[in-house]
Amino acid sequence: MMQLACEYIELLRRRGGWLDDWIVDDDEEYYDELIESKKHDGIRVTSSSKHGKGVCANKDFDEDDLILKDQMLVGAQHSLNKLDCIVCSYCFRFIGSVEFQIGRRLYLHSIGTDNDGAFERHCHGNDVGSSTSCSGATNVNANAVPQEVIMSLMAGDMQLPFTDQFALPSVVACPGGCEGELYCSQSCADSDWDSYHSLLCTGSRTEPSRRSALQKFVEHANGTNDIFLVAAKAITYTMLSDLVVASPVEDYFIYIDDLPDSEKEEVVKVTGQLLDALGEDYSVPCEGTAFFPLQSCMNHSCCPNAKAFKRDEDKDGDAVIVALEPIGKDDEVDNVAGYNINRIDT
Ligand SMILES: [Zn+2]
Ligand SMILES: [Zn+2]
């Protein structure tokens, strides 16, 4: 496996050197460009002999102000979590529709239960960067819902009440023709293709000999560990953070539960059996591992002045950092020691 990981890293290196940028450690120019291109003018990356690299404020921030919305450089959804959440492979936004999310999840679990233990097989050795790696193997009782209902939810033939208030971007297929990756938009599909998916795509645009080698690699990586974790672990796993995006399915069922009783009764006749089938884990978020270039420069503190916090409007995989207290211009911005930066904080 190690050899495979090394070959993979070598492939990425030859491809265009973005990995060199990734592991660059003290190149201020690199961070200046990154900040400039992403318009994060509120902060700068500094290095001092005392603390090493750190992040400083370029202006004053008040309590609860947004300091940074850091786009990941590379990230991967845990392979097991893909059974429960369909998200854009590039920005990790939920895609399709609430019906599609529910239907596909029930469908995959209904095949899984026939296959006895097929899900558990994938659930081992996943020990890097996350304490929740196995939570994708949720307990779903798909048999409680008739197969026709599951199929029409997936196909988009059946509309659940009030889901128009939880509209999701429609699904865009991989330009290389594989079925493994789906996107929220053509621009995410193209960006992913240009950044790295063209190397990993097992679709018909990849030449056959490379395709079968890749398929073996992907299968092996899924069986033991998430594909990017394997590569990333070899380099610098201490810099990786948990990636979490809250589920619109959770928002939907909370909305239904909050309806006035008069209205709720009718609606629950339709949604009740779906919620029962999804079980306690109906709200499982998209989970994975990612590398956030700017957030990874922040120093940790036991008296932090900033924290990771996903606001209602943060529907993608970006790391979001807000001020815990007023932060003055030129003050260092630091966050909680040992805290998983991108966890949803409630
Ligand atoms: Zn996207
Ligand atoms: Zn593909």
Phi, psi of 336, rounded to the nearest 5 degrees: -60, 135
Q: Are residues 342 and 321 in the same domain?
A: yes
Report the first-to-last Cα separation within the chain, whole angstroms: 38
Give the ligand at the shortest distance from the Cα of 317. 1
User: What pLDDT is recorded for position 299?
Assistant: 84
Tell me, rounded to whole angstroms, the distance of Cα 138 from its chain centroid. 17
Q: Are residues 193 and 277 in the same domain?
A: yes
Q: Are residues 299 and 168 in the same domain?
A: no
Give the ligand at the shortest distance from the Cα of 72. 1
Q: Are residues 99 and 190 in the same domain?
A: yes
User: Residue 323, class by beta-carbon neighbours within 10 Å (0-12 exposed, 13-18 middle, 19+ buried)?
Assistant: buried
Q: Are residues 299 and 256 in the same domain?
A: no
pLDDT one-digit tens code per residue, 299-333? 888 889 999 888 888 999 999 999 999 999 999 99
Q: Are residues 203 and 281 in the same domain?
A: yes
Distance 304 CA to ligand 1 centre (A): 31
Instruction: Identify the bridge partners of residue 52 per DSSP, sorted by sequence position.
Output: 48
Give the ligand at the shortest distance from the Cα of 90. 1
Q: Are residues 217 and 271 in the same domain?
A: yes
Instruction: Identify the bridge partners of residue 43 per DSSP, sorted by sequence position.
Output: 57
Q: Which domain range does residue 202 map to?
A: 72-235+244-290
The protein residues having their C-beta less than 5 angstroms from ligand 1 (an ion) are 88, 90-91, 184, 188
CB atoms within 10 A of CB 155: 11
Distance 186 CA to ligand 1 centre (A): 8
The tally of domains found in the chain comes to 2
Strands annotated E in 31-137: 43-48, 52-57, 66-70, 74-77
Q: Are residues 173 and 216 in the same domain?
A: yes
Q: Are residues 206 and 124 in the same domain?
A: yes
Distance 154 CA to ligand 2 centre (A): 21
User: What pLDDT is recorded for position 245?
Assistant: 94
Phi, psi of 55, rounded to the nearest 5 degrees: -120, 130
Cα atoms found within 13 Å of the Cα of residue 339, Cβ hemisphere only: 23
Give the ligand at the shortest distance from the Cα of 169. 1
Digit-by-digit pLDDT tens for the chain (346 residues) are: 445 554 555 554 444 444 444 444 456 777 888 788 777 788 988 876 666 778 999 999 999 999 998 888 778 888 889 889 999 999 999 999 999 999 999 998 888 755 444 444 343 334 333 333 344 556 778 778 999 999 999 999 999 999 999 999 999 999 999 888 899 999 999 988 887 788 778 888 777 877 787 777 777 766 666 655 556 444 544 567 788 999 999 999 999 999 999 999 999 999 999 999 998 889 999 998 888 888 888 888 888 999 988 888 899 999 999 999 999 999 999 887 544 444 444 3
Q: Are residues 40 and 81 in the same domain?
A: no
Distance 198 CA to ligand 2 centre (A): 7
